[in-house]
Amino acid sequence: MGITSDVFGEFLDPDTGVKTAIKRFTLTNSSGVEVQVIEYGAGVSSILVPDKLGKKDNVTLGFDSFEGYTKFNYQGSTIGRHANRICRGKFTLEGQSYQLPINNNANHNHGGKRGWDKHVWKSYVSGDSVIFSHFSPDGDQGYPGDVLAQVKYTLDDEGGFRIDFEAMTTQATVINMTNHSFFNLGGHSSGQKGLFDHVAVVNADKYTPVTDDLIPTGTLADVGGTGYDLRTPVRFGDALPKVPGGGLDHNFSLYMKRRGELEFVARFHHPPSGRVLEVYTSEPGLQIYTGNFLPKEEGQMVGRNGVSYMFQGAFCCEPQNFPNSINQSNFPNGVYHPGKPYKHSIVYKFLVQK
């Protein structure tokens, strides 16, 4: 195991006009997994994983140069202050009404027009981990309270890629952090066919139905008898045609013995390559998104090695709190106060099944 670093590019801050060199860190282990993370958006820029024949390929979408990560949103980024959608960008907290920027139809999504994914984070190496930190001032994108956030990335020798999120606030605010990597275990260039070949299992007997603009209605519905039933192994290619619209962008309510404890919640297997991704989280929700808003025409989003990333060419598996939880009293609480730090852990574990 080891960590090395280099300079990946240069970012011109649109607010300050200051140019900053962007560091990239490479984490390796003895099982052949290699992960790269960058200071911009505290993001994951690359995950190399061997297949059942020992051939390595990148299992996330990404770019050869830094500019791609500034041009296309959420590619491997840390999402905050609040992941996912908040209806109309409005909420009331401790008697005060707040209006957040609208950046997703008529709603607020993934922290706003310049969420935490669009900032350069400070970085340092500690032991076998890379740690990023970011200060978000009171009023940032409309949110109350100064918040100091941290993301720690650690790669173990068994293929476990762990992400630990922490945040502290000076006043009551909403916090919901996650990672927004686009996965395709068939390799980043395998496209929709690669996605459809994945066999998925998700430990959730309920999901949150959504409106036409993807805001949860507030109800918890049974997955049984629907395309959302992933409790037993099912190919994405068989499940997605049963879902209205033919794709997932939905939150699943997980079986959780105790919120805050790391638990196994999902498994994705790509039989042709043998690659397996197991997902563990300490949060009660899992947003699964099957790349429905990726371009439908070739050449509109060109990734590493000149590959065009297109419609349903990858999936996101984002452990988090429920979307719009601040406006739904029956959803898990997502409000944090001084002295009550936000903590959330994810493990993406990569295995090979021969």
- Residues carrying an active site annotation: 180, 318
State which amino acid sits at residue 265.
V
Q: Of 351, 320, 346, 348, nearest to 334 (Cα)?
A: 320
**73 is known to lie in a ligand binding site:** no
What CA–CA distances, in Å, run from 152 to 7, 78, 165, 222?
Answer: 19, 11, 7, 35
Residues forming a β-bridge with 277? 268, 350
φ/ψ region of 81 (left if φ > 0, alpha if ψ in -120 to 50, else beta) reads: alpha
For 79, the token pair is: 């999402």
**Phi then psi for 191, rounded to 5 degrees?**
65, -155
**81 is known to lie in a ligand binding site:** no
CA diameter of the chain = 59
Residues forming a β-bridge with 46? 36
- Indicate the SS3 state at residue 239: helix
**249 is known to lie in a ligand binding site:** yes
φ/ψ region of 54 (left if φ > 0, alpha if ψ in -120 to 50, else beta) reads: left
In which element (H, E) is residue 285 found? Answer: strand 285-289
Indicate the annotated binding residues for beta-D-galactose.
Answer: 84-85, 249
Binding residues: 84-85, 249
